[in-house]
Amino acid sequence: MTDDRQIIELLELRDERAICEMRRKYSKGCQTIAYNILGNRMDAEEIVNDTMLHTWNAVPPLHPENLFSFLAAVTKRLSISRVRREHAEKRGGSLPAGAVLDELEECLPSAQNVEQHIEHRALVEALNRYLRQMEPDARAITVQRYVRALSVREIAELYGFSESKVKMTLLRARKQLKTHLEQEEWI
């Protein structure tokens, strides 16, 4: 079994085995995220393919510390862009400028400067500190909802909780996160 560090090394070497290993290890999780946003299996498969291509093009220069988190974020962003684009097409047939730029986003180098990158990493570290201090059930529910994009019903079924418990846990988690970020002076 190939670990994330080895997969990233393969990506840096431009070795196509990296894509096979990413697919083997993470395509199911990415597929779930995309399907939960899009509601269509074929579109979700297409997004997973796009995620793999985006990752191939992004590494290097990027060096993600957590490969699944990186893939999940890309999958989520691409899925949301697809939904926005499809809704825009249904409303009038033409894409707004933002959606056109979203299409180009994966082809263009990042406009993020070093300061923004450092600030982003610091925010991610603050979020990770918050997640580490949470109760295990609350952390699991929060991750399932906001990383894997599962519905409240799916989370309730997965853990054997009532939907009201899941909703309340998520509400409390958001409030506690806001307090945590205020204490760390992010908001």
**Residue 38 near residue 44, CB atoms below 8 Å:** yes
Distances (CA, A) of 1 to 25, 120, 158: 9, 31, 27
**Cβ–Cβ < 8 Å for 58, 77:** no
Is pLDDT larger for residue 59 or for residue 160?
160
pLDDT, residue 112, reads 47
Considering 84, 111, 138, which residue would you say is the last residue of a domain? 111
Q: Which of these three, 60, 85, 111, is where a domain ends? A: 111
- For residue 109, the model assigns a pLDDT of 44
List the CATH number of the domain containing 139: 1.10.10.10
Q: Whole domain around residue 58: which residue ranges?
A: 1-111
47-91 pLDDT, tens digit per residue, is: 999 999 999 888 887 788 888 888 988 898 898 888 877 766 555
The Cα–Cα gap between 89 and 132 comes to 42
**Last-in-domain residue among 65, 94, 111:** 111
| Rounded Cα gap, residues 29 and 71, in angstroms | 9
In whole angstroms, what is the distance from residue 110 CA to residue 31 CA? 25
Q: Which is it for the CA torsion 165, 175, 34, 49, positive or negative?
A: negative
Same domain, 98 and 17: yes
Rounded to whole angstroms, the Cα distance separating 161 from 51 reads 32
Cα separation, 44 vs 33, in Å, equals 8
152/175 same-domain check: yes
- Are 85 and 137 in a shared domain? no
Domain count, the chain: 2
pLDDT tens digits along 88-99: 655 554 444 444
pLDDT for res 166: 94
Are 121 and 106 in the same domain?
no
* Token pair of 94 as six digits: 């033409």
What pTM value is reported for the model?
Answer: 0.57
Whether residue 100 is found in the same domain as residue 136: no
pLDDT at position 101 over 60: no
Which string of b and e fits 140-176 if b means at least 16 CB within 10 Å?
ebbebbebbbbebebbbeeeebeeebbbebbeebeee
For the segment 110-144, what is each residue's pLDDT rounded down to a tens digit?
Answer: 544 545 655 667 777 788 888 889 999 999 999 88
Using CB atoms within 10 Å of the CB of residue 33, give its burial: 0 to 12 exposed, 13 to 18 middle, 19+ buried. Answer: buried
Q: Are residues 26 and 52 in the same domain?
A: yes
In percent, the amount of the chain with pLDDT more than 70 equals: 80
